Amino acid sequence: MTPSARLAAAIEVLSDIETRRRPAADALKDWGLARRFAGSRDRAAVASLVYDALRRKASAAFVMGNATPRAVALGMLALQRGLAPEAIAALCSGERHAPEPLSADERARLAGASLDGAPAAVAGDFPAWLEPSLTRVFGDDLVPELQALTARAPLDVRVNTLRATREAVQAELAHYAPTSTPLSPVGLRFAVGEDGRGPSLQSEHSFLQGWFEIQDEGSQIATMLAGVRPGERVVDLCAGAGGKTLALAAAMANEGRIYATDVDTRRLAPIYARIGRSGAANVEVRAPKGRYDPKRPDPLADLAGTVDCVLVDAPCTGTGTWRRNPDAKWRLRPGSLAERAKDQQVVLARAAALVKPGGRIVYVTCSLLPEENDEAVAGFLSRHAGFAPQPPAAVKETAGMPDLPARETPGGGLLLTPLTTGTDGFFVKILRHG
């Protein structure tokens, strides 16, 4: 496919997303299935155009004076990819499979593309109904913080120190030219290509041998801030596929015990193979029967009051991952936020029953919203006497990261963001019992 044909295809997919109100991944999959002639590079290039357009959906529409899929795609080329009007016009020749030629108005708008005077939600490309919440967190930094979320995310891996060193993995993957992550001492970063894809690391021999796992640097840091030590008894209460579980196991040098569970057994399915590959010998998976139900026996009941650290990687809206999932921000609704807030209180209450005196809850979300972060913790503390938050400076010091440039939230949590730490957005707060 030519670059022009790829642009036309992206506009078609964006139209499908808007008309049928469905996830971008589903629309892209159907487009690919219906066009077998499109190779893997074509599909990746079209997907990259679609996701970049979704990243800049509001600002592109503002620049073009129109929110149609075509207008958003054209505005994105100027704002996100920095193409000059002449270059965009060359893609829109109207010949063969190319989009129709630019109108005089489109040319004029592309020539004067500017976000001067744009409302914060437009300049930052986020749903306007979230502005009051996000302003409480970022204040005057609201627009630059949210603009940082429109950039593409790099590809990060966590070196599994149970199997290898960072230097060894870097040497093994030298053909991809990885660099050390700026903040995590066990991370490597890989550049993504023009099509938005990084190298296919999961087919590498070193990956199959358990030398590393794909994990954003922010997720690595959030786990480090838990401050786990060899010999502790730890619960990963929302373990899912096990990324943070395995990071905890490495930090504990296979000493002590980690109990991994989740509310849904299906989410735990990938963890077993990952544990075997990683060499983690101190992890025990406690799966519920189907979904966790408080009316049925809790798979962690025997651990009540005995745990040193409960990691709560809480269910949330995922606003901190918008670099990777730009589609999600436009599908987020107030009702979803309210449901996640309920889930967070349930999982925090469950964590409280597990922690022993002197132990701690490490509350983590990949959200930027105070309703899921400071306010969720405040709600928990109002209902559970005996827990006290640790000061941010103490959390960083305990983790051996005193200079971590994370933001401090109004409620005393630590917030990683693309602008401050170059990572996905993560919130971390530690609550000590007694």
The whole-angstrom separation of Cα 13 and Cα 19 is: 10
Q: Is 216 annotated as a binding residue?
A: no
DSSP 315: -
The whole-angstrom separation of Cα 182 and Cα 370 is: 27
CA distances from 336 to 266, 328, 341 (A): 21, 12, 9
Type and span of the H or E element at 6: helix 3-20
CA distances from 419 to 23, 124, 171, 247, 423 (A): 27, 13, 29, 24, 8
53 within 8 A of 355, measured Cβ to Cβ: no
The whole-angstrom separation of Cα 45 and Cα 196 is: 8
Number of helices (H), then strands (E), in the chain: 20, 13
127 within 8 A of 184, measured Cβ to Cβ: no
Structure tokens at 396: 């960083």
Q: Which residues have CB under 8 Å from 88's CB, separation 6+?
A: 74, 77, 78, 102, 110
The DSSP-derived string for 146-162 is HHHTTSPP-EEEEE-TT
CA distances from 26 to 12, 31, 73, 107, 327 (A): 13, 9, 19, 32, 11
The whole-angstrom separation of Cα 401 and Cα 183 is: 9
183 within 8 A of 147, measured Cβ to Cβ: no
Structure tokens at 358: 């002197």
- Find the largest Cα–Cα distance for the chain: 72
Q: Is 52 annotated as a binding residue?
A: no
**Exposure string for 287-325, b = 16+ CB within 10 A, e = fewer:** bbeeebeeeeebbbeebeeebbbbbbbbbbbbbbbbbbb
Give catalytic residue positions: 366
Binding residues for S-adenosyl-L-methionine: 262, 313
Binding residues: 262, 313
